[in-house]
Amino acid sequence: MKKILSVSTAFGIGLAWTAAAWSAESLDDVMKRRGLTQKDLLAAAKTYTPTGGRDEFLVFSSGGQSGQVLVYGIPSMRILKYIAVFTPEPWQGYGFDDESKEVLAQGKIGGKQLNYGDTHHPAMSETNGEYDGEWLFINDKANPRVAVIDLKDFETKQIVVNPIMSSEHGGAFVTPNTEYVIEATQYAAPYSRDFVPLSKFNDEYRGAVTYWKFNREAGRIEPENSFSVELPPYSQDLSDAGKLDSDGWSFTNSFCTERYIGGIESGRPPFEAGCSQKDTDFLHMINWKRAAELVAEGKATKINDHDVITMDTAIKEGILFLIPEPKSPHGVDVSPDGKFIIVAGKLDTHASVYSFEKMKALIDAKDFAGTDPYGIPILDLKKSLHTQVQVGLGPLHNQYDSKPCIVYTSIYVDSQVTKWNYCEGKVLDKISIHYNIGHLMSMEGDTVSPKGHYLVSLNKLAIDRFNPVGPLHPQNHQLIDISNDKMELIYDMPLPLGEPHYAVAISADKLKPKIRYSTGWNSRKDERSEYRVRPGRERTEVADGVTHVYGTLIRSHITPEIIQVEEGSTVSLHFTNVERAEDETHGFAIYGFNVNLSAEPGKTVSATFKVDKPGVYPYYCTEFCSALHLEMQGYLLVTPKGYQAEEVALQEGQSYSQEDFDKQVKANTDTQAVIDSVVEYITARNFKDFPPVVALVEDATDQLNFAADAKKKAEDYATNEDWQNATLWAQQWFQYQVKAADIGLRAKTYLDQNDAKVVKE
């Protein structure tokens, strides 16, 4: 034990403690000092997560204009990750390495690379209407696109561009077995993307719902097997897929069914006046299962090389219906049993509960109240309704509780959440939030079995809730405890990244992310990289005028350390992180080329660029990966055209003697004794019962094998009395020992903190 303490001091690793010179504050003291109430303490106890603790649920929140997805835990509200989706993100190397550039390039529109997205609605993949924790989808409202994120590594794998829309909003929503990912238009535009005057708005501008086919085995959307249903130029809005009783159908709201086309600059009343004139808009109801069959039967029309079921076909085949819904609705949310569809109307104080059974019966009986200007049958509002409930001013979205018939509705204008019973049509509770709530989200609240407990209010304004940071405020996510009859606000979390419209929360135990890739992995394609290389096989090859460098990254060196090319060359660097240890990511940055890579354990990443100017370009690892991280460096030397190297020996800054060598060997031998004592400490305990320790031991063993290699080289040089190389290799041997000791001590600490048992003396 004493020995171990001394080694930790020798390596300067932790374990320092100071005796407190003052007595500790009591709970009462702290409450007084910080002005906390009993209620605050209770809220703190409900959310505080001690060090090393884990969250019960993980939230995947839209990152709004950042084009990313935010991941945070509940109840701690600690942010865990930003997943780069539509926007380059340097930490993850997204949009900097060749592999992820290809993903971003899939999202080009009209040949243009778009470096942002307006993400709105994340959707988790489902199996039988339950979240399965495998895939996440998110839409881009500004540039109609949908992205596929793999929850095995929390990376974006695919971006698909909508072939007919120029604006969208009602995505991403999945069908109960993730057969399709739904995306609905927002602002109508011509499918052709050509110029069409607004005078032809009614005839040539169109909305649509696209059903993106998801191939679960491949983990990719199949654009060629996806299709759309043509809709009138009503501004379509949020959507939801039916489930259980209503499986096979999807529902899409709309506003501005007035088809008003604005024109304030020519003296016409503005959009907001013309779009809110009528008392009702339309809920679209589409039989997507039948629609898919129609496509298979060849009844779709190819538009922009994409299968579209025209309105005429949809009407003739009886797969498209409209139901009036009160003034400018926003959210449409199918109840967990699939029997009800709740629509909240922004300009109406009611939430309307539609009965799927009644709507289906009207359709089956062909009992229609009329048709719209395009001939789409309209169901009678009253005959379709189960009930309407006055929930507050400006209701937007609905989320379901685990308790039957309980729903929560966000009330934008009143800045409230209303809890109500949709079976009986009565309001149960209201809570004020800060301020102007948009979406709200309960745990797995849009599945067939919501989990209850918590509700998050995703507010549009924060105003005075946090320390001021300039005119642009963070967003405010408020955590509400919904386990009891009365809702309780328990946490405010500032979100400093875009406006998160919607979020989904999943039980943390459903997620099974990996900790490392198989060695040499192209994570964006999910296959072994053609550019992978094993340690010791690093090389440079010139092919088709491109200098390919096949290198490796491992604590604490980049191989190669010197790369020399001639001016005008195109260089393609490929680095494989050959670490097996958890959390040993290496970065790679080089002066002046906008090259910035992140290589997580096992990953192979590439960067291709042209070197047009002779010069010296230092490169290094950007992750503080070990004590010798700063030495994880190298040089790209770009020689002038026709440069001839002079025959001069490399100048060493320092020369070493036998004495230096002996001194280093002595230090190494002492270090080895310390390592042996740590190994003894670990192996005397039941370390095999702790998987993180097993992984650390594996990593330490790797380092000791490298040490043995370096030791042999040092001794060989010593035999030949080459004290220069002998001493340097002895130093390298020591470096591996340091890493092994560092890892060993981490394992030892883990065992101590987790009450490991002594199994042998």
Cα distance between residue 562 and residue 558, in whole Å: 9
Q: Give yes or no for residue 524 binding ligand CUA (CB under 6 A).
A: no
In the complex, minimum distance from the CB of residue 460 to ligand K7E, in angstroms, rounded to a whole number:
7
Q: Give yes or no for residue 251 binding ligand K7E (CB under 6 A).
A: no
Nearer to ligand CUA, 585 or 737 (CB): 585
Question: Is the distance from CB of 318 to CB of 368 less than 8 angstroms?
Answer: no
In the complex, minimum distance from the CB of residue 186 to ligand K7E, in angstroms, rounded to a whole number:
9
Instruction: List binders of ligand K7E among 423-452 (CB under 6 A).
Output: 438-439
Nearer to ligand CUA, 232 or 587 (CB): 587
Q: Give yes or no for residue 238 binding ligand K7E (CB under 6 A).
A: yes
Nearer to ligand CUA, 573 or 632 (CB): 632
Phi then psi for 499, rounded to 5 degrees?
-100, 105
Contact string 519-558 vs ligand K7E (x = CB under 6 A): ----------------------------------------
Burial of 692 (0-12, 13-18, 19+ CB in 10 A): middle
Which among 211-219, 308-316, 617-625, 668-676 is the span making contact with ligand CUA, rule CB under 6 A? 617-625
Nearer to ligand K7E, 399 or 559 (CB): 399
Cα distance between residue 280 and residue 278, in whole Å: 5
Residue from the set 292, 625, 693, 745 that interacts with ligand CUA by CB under 6 A: 625
Nearest Cα residue to 133 out of 506, 460, 432, 497 = 506
Question: Is the distance from CB of 514 to CB of 155 less than 8 angstroms?
Answer: no
Neighbours of 33 (CB within 10 A): 9
Apex 735 CA angle, 731 and 739, nearest 5: 165
Contact string 630-669 vs ligand CUA (x = CB under 6 A): --x-------------------------------------
Residue from the set 629, 633, 663, 690 that interacts with ligand CUA by CB under 6 A: 629
Residues 6+ apart with CB under 8 A from 236: 169, 170, 184, 185, 186, 207, 208, 209, 252, 253, 254, 284
Place of tokens 């998160």: 500
169 binds, among ligand K7E, ligand CUA, none (CB under 5 to 8 A by kind): ligand K7E
Residue from the set 420, 502, 575, 733 that interacts with ligand K7E by CB under 6 A: 502
Question: Is the distance from CB of 625 to CB of 582 less than 8 angstroms?
Answer: no
Question: Is the distance from CB of 651 to CB of 716 less than 8 angstroms?
Answer: no
Name the residue number minimizing CB distance to ligand K7E. Answer: 438
Q: Give yes or no for residue 169 binding ligand K7E (CB under 6 A).
A: yes
Residue from the set 455, 621, 674, 741 that interacts with ligand CUA by CB under 6 A: 621
69 binds, among ligand CUA, ligand K7E, none (CB under 5 to 8 A by kind): none
Which among 322-330, 473-481, 514-522, 622-630 is the span making contact with ligand CUA, rule CB under 6 A? 622-630
Nearer to ligand K7E, 172 or 581 (CB): 172
Instruction: List binders of ligand CUA among 720-739 (CB under 6 A).
Output: none
396 binds, among ligand CUA, ligand K7E, none (CB under 5 to 8 A by kind): ligand K7E
Nearer to ligand K7E, 121 or 548 (CB): 121
Cα distance between residue 10 and residue 118, in whole Å: 52
Straight-line distance from the first to the last Cα atom of the chain, in angstroms, rounded to the nearest whole number:
13
625 binds, among ligand CUA, ligand K7E, none (CB under 5 to 8 A by kind): ligand CUA
Residues 6+ apart with CB under 8 A from 319: 229, 286, 287, 288, 290, 291, 294, 309
Q: Give yes or no for residue 623 binding ligand CUA (CB under 6 A).
A: yes
In the complex, minimum distance from the CB of residue 728 to ligand CUA, in angstroms, rounded to a whole number:
20
The conformation of residue 585, written as its DSSP 8-state character, comes to -
Residues near ligand CUA (CB under 6 A), total: 7
Q: Give yes or no for residue 120 binding ligand K7E (CB under 6 A).
A: yes
Question: Is the distance from CB of 158 to CB of 148 less than 8 angstroms?
Answer: yes
Contact string 321-340 vs ligand K7E (x = CB under 6 A): ---------x----------
Cα–Cα distances in angstroms (integers) from residue 272 to residues 168, 261, 264, in the given order = 19, 10, 10
Cα 615 to chain center, whole Å? Answer: 39
Q: Give the SS3 label for residue 131.
A: strand
In the complex, minimum distance from the CB of residue 623 to ligand CUA, in angstroms, rounded to a whole number:
5
Nearer to ligand CUA, 226 or 598 (CB): 598
Apex 117 CA angle, 114 and 123, nearest 5: 135
In the complex, minimum distance from the CB of residue 123 to ligand K7E, in angstroms, rounded to a whole number:
12
List 180's β-bridge partners, or say none: 213
Nearer to ligand CUA, 460 or 629 (CB): 629
Nearer to ligand CUA, 55 or 584 (CB): 584
Phi then psi for 256, rounded to 5 degrees?
55, 45
Which among 48-56, 461-469, 529-537, 616-624 is the span making contact with ligand CUA, rule CB under 6 A? 616-624
Q: What is the DSSP string of 305-340?
A: TEEEE-HHHHHHTT-EEEEEEESSEEEEEE-TTSSE
Number of helices followed by number of strands (H, E) in the chain? 13, 44
Q: Give yes or no for residue 599 binding ligand CUA (CB under 6 A).
A: no
Residues 6+ apart with CB under 8 A from 371: 377, 378
746 binds, among ligand K7E, ligand CUA, none (CB under 5 to 8 A by kind): none
For ligand CUA, the binding residues (CB under 6 A) are: 586, 621, 623-625, 629, 632
- What are the residues binding ligand K7E (CB under 6 A)? 120-121, 169, 238, 330, 396-397, 438-439, 501-502
